Amino acid sequence: MSGGAREPGRSVTSKVLAILGAFDAARPQLTLTELAARSGVPLSTAHRLVGELEEWQALSRSPDGRLRVGPRLWELGQLAPNRLRELAHPWLQELFGSTGENVHLAVRDGLEVLYVDKVYGRRAVPIVSRIGGRLPMHPTGVGKALLAYEPDWFVQSYLARKLERPTPHTITEPGRLARELAAVRAQGYALTYEEMTPGSCSAAAPVLVDGRPVAALGIVLSSRRARELPRLVEPLRAAATGIAAAYGS
Amino acid sequence: MSGGAREPGRSVTSKVLAILGAFDAARPQLTLTELAARSGVPLSTAHRLVGELEEWQALSRSPDGRLRVGPRLWELGQLAPNRLRELAHPWLQELFGSTGENVHLAVRDGLEVLYVDKVYGRRAVPIVSRIGGRLPMHPTGVGKALLAYEPDWFVQSYLARKLERPTPHTITEPGRLARELAAVRAQGYALTYEEMTPGSCSAAAPVLVDGRPVAALGIVLSSRRARELPRLVEPLRAAATGIAAAYGS
């Protein structure tokens, strides 16, 4: 490998990837010093690599001079195939059209949900999910809908960790969560009330293909309108079933 | 720089970027040999770099073994800020909701339009635009709407080239195109009929901020329904004006 003499064995490619990987939703903008520290790449090397990445528009500068992901990486990322997102999108669109509410689609990745699509309008309640964003599973509707259909060993190891508590309403007690997941399986959908974000409640249904939860479809509204959730469950489940049928075929 | 001995002066970073840049909408999947040829990176080097990129999920393999952009780059690309797309999206959503037609937003990049957002449903006519995709300006509604507001020197140099002709309806004669662009400026919107894709027609309006065309909003429908286009022009222009006001504020 062609890594610098100071770090034998670490390739230039791995340094470039460490620099790119230093950005995430919590830190979408970084100074060069922060970037070097987060990537573990020496400052002088980071300076040189960042120059090349900027020239290619893989990185760009915000008005205050901090670095961020550039337009070329957005454009490149759009080439990544995602059959699920493509076939599900029209269903999300239709569910949004018939309900007027925020709709999103998520998959499980590790111990988190990764949001792969979202449809929202001008009057929608602001929601915390972001396309390409990640959240923990237990406080989100889509996370519960996915977790409920994972094998026991997975659920038990998920519940055995210390669980984040983003709001006072977040359920983190393992026994209570386990009972709730059993209820989700029994009824075929999950409901949350201000467990992820104060002011928001949600319903979510799994997209089940051969019994396996390949994704979850969620709908989010203001918690002042929580009592409208039940009437949204049927269109939500119908869309999730439609996505499953399209995905499995 | 730490480029290989066979190519003094070419850095490893530039090779990694050349490999990533070898993918585009026309060639989203490549064999290793194709990738090496398109990037100009020697096969053995490409093999090693691709291994590192695959491990990081910057690249992935399709079922037939060809390489393609991986999920990690999609996720990273979603961090690229795009104020225009974010503020415009609810307007696209609303225009789609009130018309039920395919709606998309594009900006000019070089001599092409780059589609930054798109809203479509289950019953929409299949359209050629793709988020992150590029098309020439003169055969597309959004391209004409943008071109009409560019400075004369730009338009003249655009028209002086040999222009692509994707369909027999594409207008490529410079004098006729120049007259059409004048009409677009006079009426404030562009119409196309099967100029990009047989079977589709479109209307598009520029998003003008201080007289500068920062984007164009387009609506596409089946050319069998071309006579419905005129009634879509007013909601289209209203949405473009709404986006301009939000962007300029």
Of B155, B12, B134, B18, the residue nearest A4 (C-alpha): B12
Spatial distance between the Cα atoms of B139 and B220, rounded to a whole number of angstroms: 13
Query: Which tens digit of pLDDT belongs to each residue from B120-176?
Result: 877 666 667 889 999 999 999 999 999 999 999 999 999 999 999 999 999 999 999
The SS3 call for residue B102 is strand
Query: Model confidence over A102-137: pLDDT tens digits?
Result: 999 999 999 999 999 999 876 666 667 889 999 999
Please return the burial class of A63, using the count of CB atoms within 10 Å of its CB with bins 0-12, 13-18 and 19+: exposed
Q: Residue B77 and residue A73: Cβ atoms within 8 Å?
A: yes
Residue B89 and residue B69 in one domain = no
- Collapsed DSSP state (helix, strand, coil) of residue A136: strand
**Which of residues 33 through 62 in chain A touch B, CB cutoff 8 A?**
49, 52-53, 56, 58, 60, 62
Residues A68, A152, single domain; the answer is no
- Domain boundaries, position B64: 12-77
Based on the domain organization, do B57 and B92 belong to the same domain? no
Test A75 with B49 for CB contact under 8 angstroms.
Answer: no
Cβ pairs A/B, distance under 8 A: 147
Identify whether residues B68 and B187 lie together within a single domain.
Answer: no
- Which CATH number fits the domain that encloses residue A107? 3.30.450.40
* Cβ atoms of A71 and A61 closer than 8 Å: no
Question: For residue A226, what is the DSSP state?
Answer: G
Residues A97, B130: C-beta atoms closer than 8 Å: no
Give me the pLDDT at residue A3, please. Answer: 40
Q: Do A11 and B12 touch (CB under 8 A)?
A: yes
Q: Which of B12, B75, B133 sits opposite A13 (nearest CB)?
A: B12
Name chain A contacts of B78, Cβ cutoff 8 Å: 74, 77, 130-133
How far is CA B19 from each of CA A2, A4, A16, A136, B59, rounded to the nearest angstrom?
17, 21, 13, 34, 10
CA distance B237 to B204: 8
State the Cα torsion B4-B10-B16-B22 to the nearest 10°.
-120
Calpha distance B70→A19 (Å, rounded): 17
* Residue B6: inside a domain: no
Interface contact B5, partner A, CB < 8 A: no
Whether A114 and chain B come into contact, CB under 8 Å, resolves to yes
Asked if the structure places residue A168 within a domain, the reply is yes
Its ipTM equals 0.89
Is the residue at B5 inside a domain?
no
* A18 and A89 belong to one structural domain: no
- A75 in reach of chain B (CB within 8 A): yes
Instruction: Tell me whether residue A160 is in a domain.
Output: yes
Residue A7 covered by a domain: no
Domain boundary among B50, B77, B104: B77
- Partners of residue A62 in chain B, C-beta under 8 Å: 81
Q: Could you tell me if B25 lies within 8 Å of chain A, comparing CB atoms?
A: yes
- Pure H helices in A78-196: 83-99, 141-147, 152-159, 174-187
Distance CA A68, CA A13 (A): 19
The predicted pLDDT at position B3 comes to 40
Residues of chain B with pLDDT under 50: 1-5
Cα distances from B112 to residues A1, B64, B68, B134, B202, in angstroms, run: 39, 32, 24, 6, 17
Task: Examine residue B127 and state whether it is found in any structural domain, yes or no.
Answer: yes
CA distances to A29, A242, B10 from A237, in Å: 38, 9, 54
Query: Is position B121 within any domain?
Result: yes
By Cβ distance, the residue of A56, A79, A133 closest to B69 is A79
Task: Say how many domains are in chain A.
Answer: 2
B114 plus B199 within the same structural domain: yes
Residues B234 and B113 in one domain: yes
Consecutive 10-residue averages of pLDDT for chain A (249 residues): 52 96 95 97 96 97 95 96 91 90 95 94 72 95 98 95 95 95 97 93 97 96 92 97 94
User: Phi-psi region for residue B88, left (φ > 0), alpha (ψ -120 to 50) or beta?
Assistant: alpha
**């995602």: which residue's tokens?**
A82
User: Which domain CATH number covers B18?
Assistant: 1.10.10.10
Structure tokens belonging to residue A40? 């573990």
For residues A217 and A243, the answer to whether their CB atoms sit within 8 Å is yes
Tokens matching residue B55: 């491990």
Distance separating alpha carbons of residues B30 and B36, to the nearest angstrom:
9
Please tell me which of the candidates A56, A75, A121 has its beta carbon nearest to residue B97: A121
User: How many Å separate Cα A183 from the centre of its chain?
Assistant: 24
CB distance B121 to B100 below 8 Å: yes
Q: Where are the alpha helices (DSSP H) in chain A?
A: 12-21, 32-39, 43-55, 71-77, 83-99, 141-147, 152-159, 174-187, 229-248
Among A79, A3, A82, residue whose Cα is nearest residue B20: A79
Nearest by CB: A52 against B14, B97, B133: B14
Are B146 and B61 in a shared domain? no
Q: Are strands A67-69 and A59-61 parallel, antiparallel or unpaired?
A: antiparallel
The answer to whether residue B74 neighbours chain A at the CB level (below 8 Å) is yes
Residue B131 inside a domain? The answer is yes
Q: Is residue A217 located within the same domain as residue A152?
A: yes
Q: Which two tokens stand for residue A25?
A: 């939703």
**A67: nearest Cα among B79, B160, B126, B133:** B79
Residue B2's pLDDT is what?
Answer: 42
Beta strand pairing call for B134-136 and B212-222: unpaired
Contact A120 B75 (CB under 8 A): no
Question: In terms of domains, do A114 and A27 share one?
Answer: no
Residue A14 with chain B: CB contacts under 8 Å? 52
Instruction: Determine the pLDDT at residue A118.
Output: 92
Give how far A13 is from chain B: nearest CA, Å.
7
Determine which of B2, B11, B13 to mutate to test the interface with A (most A C-beta atoms within 10 Å): B13
Q: Say what the pLDDT of residue B8 is.
A: 56
Nearest CA in chain B to A73: B77
Distance CA A46, CA B59 (A): 23
Do residues A209 and A192 make contact, with C-beta atoms less than 8 angstroms apart? no
State how far the Cα of A139 lies from the Cα of A112, in Å rounded to an integer. 11
B76 touches chain A (CB under 8 A): yes
Paired sense of beta strands A212-222 and A200-209, if any: antiparallel
Which residues 170-199 on chain B approach chain A with CB closer than 8 angstroms?
none
**pLDDT of amino acid A219:** 96
Lay out the sheet containing B59-61: strands in order across. B29-30, B67-69, B59-61
Contact between A43 and A6 (Cβ < 8 Å): no
* CB neighbour class for A12 (10 Å; exposed up to 12, middle 13-18, buried from 19): buried
Q: What is the DSSP letter of A148?
A: T
Q: Which residue does chain A place closest to B115, by CA atoms?
A: A75
Q: Which of A60, A77, A94 is the last residue of a domain?
A: A77
What is the reported pLDDT for B174?
94
Interface test with A, best of B75, B99, B109, B123 (most A CBs within 10 A): B75
B192 lies in the same domain as B69: no
Query: Quick one: A128 and A222 in the same domain?
Result: yes
- For residue B130, the model assigns a pLDDT of 86
Instruction: Give the mutation candidate from A76, A114, A120, A130 for the B interface (greatest B CB count, under 10 A).
Output: A76
Write down which residue in B34, B58, B77 finishes a domain: B77
